[in-house]
Amino acid sequence: MTLTGGCQCGAVRINCHAPPLAMIRCHCTDCQRQSASAFGLSVYLPPDALSVDGPVAWFETRTAAGRQMRRHFCPRCGVRLWHRRHPDAAFLALKGGVLDPGHGLEPVAELWTRARLGWVALIPGALVYETQPADWAPVFARFAARRAEAAPPEAGDALDRFAAALPPGAQVLDLGRGGHDATRRLRAQGFAVTTADPAAAIVAGHPAPPAGEGGTGPAFDAIWADLGALHIPRAAWPGLPARIARGLRAGGVLHLGLTLPADRAGGRDPVPPGPAPAEALRRMVAAAGLVILRLDVSPDAGGSTGAVRIDILARHAG
């Protein structure tokens, strides 16, 4: 999904280079004043997801929790564009009203309902918070599930979907098996790809060079991890997604593909074959602070009879 938008006078245009994490409706008095209405709409995005053409000004205030908030607006027409915590934002909040028509987004959560005006009805089925969530993962998960339900069947394979979720020129780590076909396909689309042996990297406790330039911070916008149960030592399975996710920047995308042979049964492995492994792997991914965008379970077309293939597409919530 590519979101675009702009201010009221047209001086500012916005392009979003990453899928939204969630849309919420906020009833706090700050949002009421900002919108000059009964509530505000916000679309949460990774902190570096925007490219902006035109003049943008900002001012800073402190929230009720004492955090510093930077609020961006058009200096010509005054329309609020987005806000984010400064300097440690895990995500930014793009104002829903600046989006161009046709985006199809709907709020999945109601925030600060204790300040809600009495005549404003709650959205059926939305998560409800008297203030704001202590944990954003349920909000992001609800939004991803709603978007998956509303989306038409997607064409292409898991790698196509992974590539579609990346910003142009993304730094990608390929932890794939075999001849790194994923590397060739991703490089052909203009992504900068680093390869690493998955077993060696995971046993070492990190997915690859764990730091970016200068030796600090995660190095990658995305990680393609296509693993086989026979290639990873059993002792390395607990917390596997968390170790892989160490290499992701905030808002980064992870594809975790796992092939389980039919004979790895009977509970001998932390992720056994059959219906159970997908749920076990899903829990590991969620525990790693990742928001699951899609989960597919299918027979492994290229493997032995009875082998199971699990593909998870997830985003680092920051």
CATH number at residue 82: 3.90.1590.10
Q: Are residues 106 and 55 in the same domain?
A: yes
* Domain end (from 149, 180, 202): 149
Cβ-in-10-Å burial (0-12, 13-18, 19+) of 2 comes to exposed
Whether residue 296 is found in the same domain as residue 310: yes
Q: Do residue 95 and residue 243 come from a single domain?
A: no
Number of Cβ within a 10 Å radius of residue 29: 10
Does 302 share its domain with 158?
yes
| Domain span at 133 | 3-149
- The pLDDT of residue 213 is 43
* 239 and 286 assigned to the same domain: yes
Of 102, 134, 149, the last residue of a domain is: 149
14-56 pLDDT, tens digit per residue, is: 988 778 889 999 999 889 998 999 999 999 988 878 889 999 9
Say what the pTM is.
Answer: 0.53
Interval 101-129: pLDDT, tens:
888 899 999 999 999 999 999 999 999 99
Are 132 and 215 within one domain? no
Query: Do 281 and 166 belong together in one domain?
Result: yes
pLDDT for 265: 36
